[in-house]
Chain A
């Protein structure tokens, strides 16, 4: 087998890089978390109070509560994506931090997996911070569901971290990422059921929606937040889709990054 296509070798060494990123983050913890929560909050109140005043309930749920479920996943997605794209690109290409690390007993797989864990952690922190806001606002139906919602947040963040790192491996400059956000992230927000039920979309777009990771994140979070029903088969399907995005994204980012940096 061509070594380029070998799956990444998982070693605890990767946490050395995760720890490095954590040390940098610790210098700016509060502003960093605030910024991660601010954007989903703007959506939550902007749409929740504005549009919510016009339409009242949606599928039997108060509209503010309805989109709160979407904003938790959105916060995790956004934060993980930014870290895996802009921040990882800065360390890989601009500051050449990775090159320095690759002169130590660390492999490229270690570096990439460390970045993946870190962007996943950042996404998870943003999602959980948003969840706390939702709880404080009294928009979560049951405390008992919170650990499960957190697991979904973590899975969502790890999936977008993995996809983001694959895109990062293809980037020539920061400009490249605006394609990713404009063509993938933003449409996905609209098609994921975060703001309105997927059922109102035209049939072809419903099919597209079923393949998007954020759709499944929202699908899992919402019933646990609003106390609605979810079939076990739907739950299993959504978890599997997110796991597939995570695994495939991670494998793809490993190959693409090796192709980029190992000559």
Chain B
């Protein structure tokens, strides 16, 4: 499979801060690739550099065969972008937002294309509505449709569902899956592990400007963490666990909550049930991998 985006040894420093420190990855054509990472990990900076919004200090980027940032205009002709903050044009209605944006590409949208994009964003009945009258979810969908005016081969999405309610989020996910079915290549950054697990063929976990893990969500869960997690609640939890070390592989304590990781938690679950303790038993997921790799400290 051909590579749609190849990022090689990317470095970017803002004054004292090293935002990206040697990130490398390749995204295949038709793939949905997710970059996960805590705030300040360097996700958005990486995206900005791939789009030539920001210039790397060193490292190379090949986007759809174009060298960035040198061939940025040719590349952008084939790329769609959904930015982190909506920047729809409030001076225009929904249709005008699409036609004016297409004009920046030097394109004129046909009536059929406009209808298709409005249908895609679920805004056919609001075609002439002003942007300020749309809900957050509608604006996001229109932003997504706007990113498609040039029929892009590659779409960048920077936290596409942040700030949306679950209904709006599921609708965006459904639309992104439609795009995957048409063989478009997607790169998205997200905080939501569920989003990454549902949508992405592969994910990269980024922290402190470096990519620390890369693979399919399932592989990462298999390779980076134990199979099962038992969450136990209680004030005396530390002592209780200290005397039963054979029941789990390792644990992390977080206030009155302990996360016990094990490849076979049956014995631990039985012990907890016997004592009538408050606990949850579940398979490990991507969020556990993420927290294991990036730690539980707040990034502020």
Partner of B103, one of A19, A27, A97, A99: A19
Partner of B76, one of A95, A96, A103: A103
Interface residue B167 (Cβ < 8 Å from any Cβ of A):
no
Contacts of A13 in B (CB 8 A): 106
Chain A proximity of B147: nearest CB distance (Å): 8
Residues B89 and A95 in contact, CB atoms below 8 Å apart: yes
Contacts of A16 in B (CB 8 A): 103-104, 106
Contacts of A96 in B (CB 8 A): 85, 87
Chain B proximity of A170: nearest CB distance (Å): 20
Residues B85 and A104 in contact, CB atoms below 8 Å apart: no
Which chain B residues (72-125) contact chain A, with CB distance < 8 Å?
A: 73-74, 76-77, 79, 81, 83, 85, 87-92, 96, 100-101, 103-106
Interface residue B14 (Cβ < 8 Å from any Cβ of A):
yes
Contacts of A20 in B (CB 8 A): 89, 100, 103-104
Residues B54 and A97 in contact, CB atoms below 8 Å apart: no
Binding site for A on B (CB under 8 A): 14, 51, 53-55, 73-74, 76-77, 79, 81, 83, 85, 87-92, 96, 100-101, 103-106, 150
Contacts of B87 in A (CB 8 A): 95-97, 99-100
> How far, in angstroms, from A263 to B14 measured CA to CA in the complex?
8
Closest to B80 in A: A103
Q: Is the interface of B mostly helix, strand, loop or mixed?
A: loop
> How far, in angstroms, from A82 to B204 measured CA to CA in the complex?
47
Binding site for B on A (CB under 8 A): 13, 16-17, 19-20, 23-24, 27, 95-97, 99-107, 262-263
Partner of A105, one of B14, B76, B88, B90: B76
Contacts of B74 in A (CB 8 A): 105
User: Would A104 and B105 be within 8 Å (CB), given that A20-B100, A263-B54 are in contact?
Assistant: yes
> How far, in angstroms, from A100 to B96 measured CA to CA in the complex?
14
Chain A proximity of B14: nearest CB distance (Å): 7
Chain A proximity of B116: nearest CB distance (Å): 19
> How far, in angstroms, from A23 to B89 measured CA to CA in the complex?
12
Partner of A24, one of B55, B77, B92, B105: B92
**Complex A-B: 24 CB contacts under 8 Å:** A19-B103, A20-B100, A23-B92, A23-B96, A24-B91, A95-B89, A95-B90, A96-B87, A97-B87, A97-B89, A99-B87, A100-B89, A100-B101, A102-B53, A103-B53, A103-B83, A104-B76, A104-B101, A104-B150, A105-B74, A105-B104, A106-B104, A107-B73, A263-B55
Residues A100 and B83 in contact, CB atoms below 8 Å apart: yes
Closest to B75 in A: A105
> How far, in angstroms, from A105 to B77 measured CA to CA in the complex?
6
